[in-house]
Structure 1
Amino acid sequence: MGEALLRGFLRAKVSSPGRICASVRDWERQEALERIGVGSVFRDATEGGSRDVAHFARILLLCTKPQALPEVLESLAPHVTEEHLVISVAAGVTLKALEEALGPHVRVIRVMPNTPALVQCGASAYALGRNATQRDAELVDLMFSSVGFCIRVEEKQLDAVTGLSGSGPAFVYLMIEALADGGVAAGLPRETALALAAQTVKGAAQMVFSDDATSESGMVHPGVLKDRVASPAGTTIAGLTELESSGVRGAFIRAVTRAAARSKELAAARRRRRLATRVAASAAQPLLRVAAPLGRLAVRALPANLLAAAFAAARSGRMNPWIMAGLLVYCVGVTIYATNTRRQVEVATATAASSLDATSASGSLASASASASLSSVDAEAASKAAAAGQDKKKERSEVCKVCGGTGQVSYENHMQAYDGTVCPCCLGKGRVKRYQGNLISALLSFDP
């Protein structure tokens, strides 16, 4: 859908290719967008790509599949500001869910287009979010009107729009195929029958929008057009009688209502999954507090050489099931320990920041008190104790093998270089606990 809309926008000259940037998840999609002339294409829609697109663009069009959208929103949220307009075409993802994921200040609009937008004959409906303005609505109307028909609706009507115009093209394709099959059964060649069937549907749809419409909507009622074609005792009324007796009208009605109901079911299922994830995260907190010490013991208990032997056995295909099970338990312990350590670092950072604020507020008073109470002998003793503590700390730690003690690393990620990034192993300190340094160096030395 995203590529169809993009091609439609370019054909309608809504924007020039050089002013469009995109973020994709695979190389094939990147190559396809580069072939049609998109100015900048970034990889990793769920990582750095979202950040790069948010930096260069102010109108963000989300065209990922609904099941992949939460991950994209999570990576995009820190980089979206009040200046951005976010347009989502993901079916079943509500405005409330988008605003909760991106923040209460973000302007969000939800659009339901269809694939004929590729040939500038699309049918789109949109609903405004809480912070979207009238100017945003006019912009969306301009964009999607350039690739077909566009109308504004209430969000509660978008499920019906999904069943009608979103799934409708497939219903019409089935009808065209059936008409062509009927032509073949009546004696026409396949290509001739298909061309006549497709042009008949196209012309009939155009007649509904003809200039002789007298209603306020600017359209001619299909029943009026049908009566103009069906003459008494003619071929058309005979065919219509057969269609009505076969329940074709009811079948189309049921197809639209069933597709709309399915859209509601999918949206409800996503809401249940989000709720279940939140409940599971809340329930996991006590378990993490209990499992973190066990994970710490697992990290310390397994030597690096045993881990290397396990990886070597796995690569050679001679992995013992018991070793595999033990390695799995060990990896779970490492994950729990790392998660708990990261949270402790975040809490410690926040505590240090608040302590720093409090210290700076009373800094002059503390300095005066310290000067009055400490003698030169006490100061010398304190200095020696601090030096001894530093030496003891160094005995329990070692130089970080990831950054070489500098506290910073440089790496390349999808043709982009990052220099001076804080080392993820030592968190910029240059030294790590001995067992932690051995573990990470052992992991980095493997290529399983």
Structure 2
Amino acid sequence: PAKGDEEPRTGLRVGFVGAGRMAEAIAQGLIRAGKVEAKQVLASAPTDRNLCHFRALGCQTTHSNQEVLQSCSLVIFATKPQVLPAVLKEVAPVVTAEHVLVSVAAGVSLSTLEELLPLNTRVLRVSPNLPCIVQEGAMVMARGHHAGSEEAKLLQNLLEACGQCEEVPEAYVDIHTGLSGSGVAFVCTFSEALAEGAIKMGMPSALAHRIAAQTLLGTAKLLQQEGQHPAQLRTDVLTPAGTTIYGLHALEQGGLRAATMSAVEAATCRAKELSRK
């Protein structure tokens, strides 16, 4: 019998095929939030290089991708996109109607996933971002033809351990990559520039970077908790002839808005291009 068959189902068993940073981040979030027990998680990878991180969390590990599917009904594929088709072909013989399969590989469409798996397999696609590592991810998920609202709810509930997760049409996934996947780098660039402005004015570097990061964090929390449009919050900080309007004028002169919109557009177009390949 497969590994999961001899023990009573005390809870959900979650499998990971691929054990890189994103897989580890998701596993860590699920375990920390008490969504699954560490011993109910089984991860596979070709070498021990990344599996040691899973063992440190208390998870089971293996070098066999098929074993993961034989032991777990919910399996998250977190391999590199170019490796995924070969991995799916390899596990296809052990996929059953019980399985719910989730891909976090960028640029691999639901139709490609469904083509490589047995007919009627329940497949969902998730686009995560790096802050999943600190349980503050912004994720979107899209479901294939055979995944119903029950599977979507189950996955959404699990992934909320790693941040915010919203169900969207698949067409939004590439936009999410441009906005939130690449957006992490855009926000880092802005944070760095904010700090450098303070350094230019005489503040020590380490202090300036700490304050810039905290300013981003605090502003994001305000936007989320107040549920306000950013323009409203921005107006609240503005006083006539005050410091902020002088700074905002300089940002407008530098074309910050147009540059940011172009950055999201460029990253989205590139994501679409990679998806087509």
Q: Give TM-score, length-normalised by structure 2.
A: 0.90
Higher helix content, 1 or 2: 1
Partners of 1:149 and 1:30 in 2: CA distance: 26
Q: How many residues align?
A: 256
Match of 1:41 among 61, 64, 80: 61
Partners of 2:265 and 2:229 in 1: CA distance: 21
Partners of 2:204 and 2:87 in 1: CA distance: 49
Task: Report the counterpart of residue 294 of structure 1 in structure 2.
Answer: none
Say yes or no: does 1:201 pair with 2:216: yes
TM superposition shift of 1:26 = 2.1
Where 1:91 maps in the other structure, the secondary structure is coil
Does structure 2 retain, via aligned residues, the 8 Å contact 1:81–1:105? no
Partners of 1:99 and 1:12 in 2: CA distance: 31
Task: Report the counterpart of residue 82 of structure 1 in structure 2.
Answer: 97
Say yes or no: does 1:242 pair with 2:250: yes
Task: Report the counterpart of residue 16 of structure 1 in structure 2.
Answer: 37
Partners of 1:10 and 1:179 in 2: CA distance: 36
Where 1:146 maps in the other structure, the secondary structure is helix
Say yes or no: does 1:7 pair with 2:7: no
Task: Report the counterpart of residue 75 of structure 2 in structure 1.
Answer: 60
For residues 305-341 of structure 1, the C-alpha deviation after alignment (integer angstroms, 9 at most, x for no partner) is xxxxxxxxxxxxxxxxxxxxxxxxxxxxxxxxxxxxx
Q: Which has the larger radius of gyration?
A: 1
Does structure 2 retain, via aligned residues, the 8 Å contact 1:114–1:123? yes
Q: Which runs of 5 or more residues in structure 2 are unaligned?
A: 1-21
Say yes or no: does 1:262 pair with 2:270: yes
Say yes or no: does 1:26 pair with 2:47: yes
Does structure 1 retain, via aligned residues, the 8 Å contact 2:45–2:65? no
Match of 2:154 among 139, 147, 150: 139
Say yes or no: does 1:187 pair with 2:202: yes
Task: Report the counterpart of residue 222 of structure 1 in structure 2.
Answer: 230
Does structure 2 retain, via aligned residues, the 8 Å contact 1:123–1:148? yes
Does structure 1 retain, via aligned residues, the 8 Å contact 2:66–2:91? yes
Say yes or no: does 1:120 pair with 2:128: no
CA RMSD of superposed structures (Å):
1.0
Q: Give TM-score, length-normalised by structure 1.
A: 0.56
Partners of 1:80 and 1:18 in 2: CA distance: 22
TM superposition shift of 1:256 = 0.7
For residues 255-291 of structure 1, the C-alpha deviation after alignment (integer angstroms, 9 at most, x for no partner) is 111111111111111xxxxxxxxxxxxxxxxxxxxxx
Partners of 2:29 and 2:210 in 1: CA distance: 24
Task: Report the counterpart of residue 111 of structure 1 in structure 2.
Answer: 126
TM superposition shift of 1:210 = 2.3
Where 1:132 maps in the other structure, the secondary structure is coil
Q: Which amino acid aligns with 1:91?
A: A
Partners of 2:161 and 2:84 in 1: CA distance: 26
TM superposition shift of 1:157 = 1.2
TM superposition shift of 1:25 = 2.2
Larger RCO: 1 or 2 (CA < 8 Å, sep 6+): 2
For residues 55-88 of structure 1, the C-alpha deviation after alignment (integer angstroms, 9 at most, x for no partner) is 1100010111101111111111111111000010
Partners of 1:3 and 1:249 in 2: CA distance: 35
Q: Which amino acid aligns with 1:31?
A: C
Where 1:67 maps in the other structure, the secondary structure is coil
Task: Report the counterpart of residue 162 of structure 1 in structure 2.
Answer: 177
Percent identity between the two aligned chains: 41
For residues 225-254 of structure 1, the C-alpha deviation after alignment (integer angstroms, 9 at most, x for no partner) is 001111111111111111111111111111
Once the two structures are superposed, the pairs formed by residues 379-398 of structure 1 within 5 Å of their partners are none
Partners of 1:83 and 1:112 in 2: CA distance: 23
TM superposition shift of 1:8 = 1.6
Partners of 1:177 and 1:152 in 2: CA distance: 32
Where 2:147 maps in the other structure, the secondary structure is coil
Q: Which amino acid aligns with 2:224?
A: F
Once the two structures are superposed, the pairs formed by residues 275-290 of structure 1 within 5 Å of their partners are none
